[in-house]
Amino acid sequence: MEIRIEPLPGERRKTPPTDPAALGFGQIFTNRILKADWDEQRGWHDARIEPYGPIALDPAAKVYHYAQEVFEGLKAYRWQDGRVALFRPQMNAARFNRSAVRLALPEVPERLFLEGIDTLVRLEEEWIPSADGTSLYIRPTLIAVEPKLGVRPSDACLFFVILSPVGAYYAGGFNPVRILVEDYYVRAVPGGTGTAKTGGNYASSLSAGLKAKERGFEQVLWLDGIQRKYVEEVGAMNIFFVVDGTLVTPPLSDSFLAGVTRDSVLELAGTLGIPADVRPVAIDELMADVRSGRVSEAFGSGTAAVVSPVGVLGYKGEVVTVGSGGVGPVTRRLYDTLTGIQYGRLPDPFGWLHQVK
Ligand SMILES: Cc1ncc(COP(=O)(O)O)c(C=O)c1O
């Protein structure tokens, strides 16, 4: 499908911020947006890049009422030599469509997803920051726009992609987080929507996050939705532990998101000679192993932070420090290697990078 590029009027042209410290996450957006429409009669049509701005929808649009929507998150990395690369964007395209199927939304053709992002990122190249650790966050989204309140799949949808320059996650150095194990609320259940990247999962996680903050923790560790016995995810990240020197993470299930970073960490561990074990992790066993010191490191993995070290775990009134409470050597090595590949400082033996420029 051809992508039409609309002119950007001078008065709509903002210039990118110059101070990387002011970027934060997802607060500033670039000048343009990619859009494409879908309806039952015509399928996908009218792919275009327009000036960035509000989207006007009928108040009856299904997305507002029934949360029929999915999204993705990936980044463009600016290399020191000026080139630009995306990290495994095909995985995001595939996950986007798996999410879409789960939410009874139409799949977006892979070419539209990937070429649309390439074209948009190239047009907005001046917005890709170059300071250490910064990047351009890419947010593809698919929403149900049919203006009818009947609970049925929408017969019309809008696909759009917006871009946001983001600051270095660890500008002030690694910052291990305090995690509360959530033993009442659950994020997802088998057969639910936990494997889909859909807004409802995030909306329903917010109150547990508030509860954690009230108790002096920064994030939530989610347990399985049936027995509240097995560890699933941490905040909006997958979870890893180093137990007796072995990297351990729960197996993919039908209740949590299959992270691109999780997959990459596991592949990297293999080549770095770090033993890895993909197996269920029971919370009681985990707490005992943290107490005894068998668990020396814990970290979340995700596109935003790459890895996020866990310093402290709270569960049923007990608070334990993981290892030294700082950043362990396995976490650091995986972080350095993965970011080294993303920013073109290290070779990419896996063919993970997609060069945009
Ligand atoms: C719920 C959830 N789990 C895990 C992840 C990590 O996925 P990825 O590594 O693809 O960013 C994310 C972030 O996208 C997420 O939202």
**Per-residue pLDDT tens for 83-138?**
999 999 999 999 999 999 999 999 999 999 999 999 999 999 999 999 999 999 99
Alpha helices for the chain (secondary structure H): 62-66, 89-102, 110-123, 199-203, 206-214, 260-272, 283-292, 329-342
Confidence band of 322 (pLDDT split at 50, 70, 90):
very high
- Give percent of the chain with pLDDT exceeding 90: 96
Strand partners, 300: 239, 308
Atom of ligand 1 nearest to the CA of 73: 14
pLDDT tens per residue, range 52-64: 999 999 999 999 9
Ligand 1 touching residue 338 (CB < 6 A): no
Q: Is the model's pLDDT at 339 over the cut of 90?
A: yes
- Angle of helix 329-342 relative to helix 260-272, nearest 10 degrees, comes to 110
Mutate to test the pocket of ligand 1, among 75, 233, 237, 262 (most ligand atoms within 8 A of CB): 237
Ligand 1 touching residue 73 (CB < 6 A): yes
Query: Which tokens belong to 223?
Result: 């347990």
User: In this structure, which residue's CA is closest to atom 4 in ligand 1?
Assistant: 237
The rounded distance, in Å, linking the Cα atoms of 309 and 47 is 41
Centre of ligand 1 to C-alpha 48, Å, is 28
Centre of ligand 1 to C-alpha 112, Å, is 22
The rounded distance, in Å, linking the Cα atoms of 228 and 182 is 9
Ligand 1 touching residue 72 (CB < 6 A): no
pLDDT tens per residue, range 185-206: 999 999 999 999 999 999 999 9
pLDDT of residue 173: 83
Q: Which long-range contacts (CB under 8 A, 24 or more apart) does 87-90 make?
A: 87/260, 87/264, 87/303, 87/341, 87/342, 87/352, 87/353, 87/354, 88/260, 88/264, 88/352, 88/354, 89/114, 89/117, 89/354, 90/114, 90/354
Name, in order, each residue with C-beta under 8 angstroms of 18's C-beta and a sequence gap of 6 or more: none
Taking the CB of residue 106, how many other CB atoms lie within 10 A of it? 21
What is the torsional sign of CA 297, 302, 303, 304? negative
User: In this structure, which residue's CA is closest to atom 16 in ligand 1?
Assistant: 236
pLDDT of residue 189: 95
Ligand 1 touching residue 312 (CB < 6 A): no
Ligand 1 touching residue 86 (CB < 6 A): no
Atom of ligand 1 nearest to the CA of 264: 9
Query: Which tokens belong to 171?
Result: 């500008």
CB 77 within 8 A of CB 342: yes
Could you tell me whether strands 135-144 and 69-71 are parallel, antiparallel, or unpaired per DSSP bridges? antiparallel
User: In this structure, which residue's CA is closest to atom 7 in ligand 1?
Assistant: 259
Taking the CB of residue 112, how many other CB atoms lie within 10 A of it? 18
Q: By C-alpha distance, which of 175, 338, 355, 333 is closest to 260?
A: 338
Atom of ligand 1 nearest to the CA of 233: 3
210 burial via Cβ count (<10 Å: 0-12, 13-18, 19+) = exposed
The rounded distance, in Å, linking the Cα atoms of 86 and 76 is 5
242: left (phi over 0), alpha (psi -120 to 50) or beta: beta
